[in-house]
């Protein structure tokens, strides 16, 4: 994966999770993190609160269509280079936490 220089990920490992992409955004202008949440909510046709819950790991999208819409929007706005570089099974924090619990 290449570095994204405009906004978003600045290291290859920062873009491996949704919260990594979100946390890599700089806190300036119309708060880029707020702009990110608004853009993703619009693309996924869900509330901003839902996007925030996905980011913090409280929920995960209930449909594959929502995941695809999220990834398409992230590519469109330059947050990630390609949705092919994302492992959908490990993209959401809740999925990672569940996987770690199963390993223990």
Whether the predicted pLDDT of 2 surpasses 50: no
Per-residue pLDDT tens over the stretch 24-43: 887 767 888 999 999 999 99
Angle of helix 48-56 versus helix 32-44 axis, rounded to 10: 110
- Compute the mean pLDDT over every residue in the chain, rounded to the nearest whole number: 84
State residue 1's pLDDT score.
43
Rounded CA-CA distance 100/104 in Å is 7
Per-domain boundaries in the chain: 12-103
Q: Which of 1, 8, 15, 17 is nearest to 90 (CA)?
A: 17
* All residues at 6 or more sequence positions from 71 whose CB lies less than 8 Å from its CB, including other chains: 80, 83, 86, 88
Whether the predicted pLDDT of 22 surpasses 60: yes
* All residues at 6 or more sequence positions from 99 whose CB lies less than 8 Å from its CB, including other chains: 90
pTM of the full structure:
0.67
């Amino acid at each position: 994966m290449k570095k994204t220089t405009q906004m978003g990920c600045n290291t290859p490992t920062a873009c491996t999770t949704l919260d990594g992409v979100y946390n890599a955004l700089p806190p300036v202008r119309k708060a880029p993190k707020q702009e990110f949440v608004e853009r993703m909510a619009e693309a996924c046709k869900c509330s901003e609160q839902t996007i925030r819950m996905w980011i913090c790991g409280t929920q995960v999208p209930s449909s594959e269509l929502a995941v695809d819409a999220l990834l398409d929007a992230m590519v469109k706005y330059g947050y990630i280079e390609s949705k092919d570089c994302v492992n959908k099974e490990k993209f959401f924090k809740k999925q990672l936490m569940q996987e770690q619990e199963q390993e223990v």
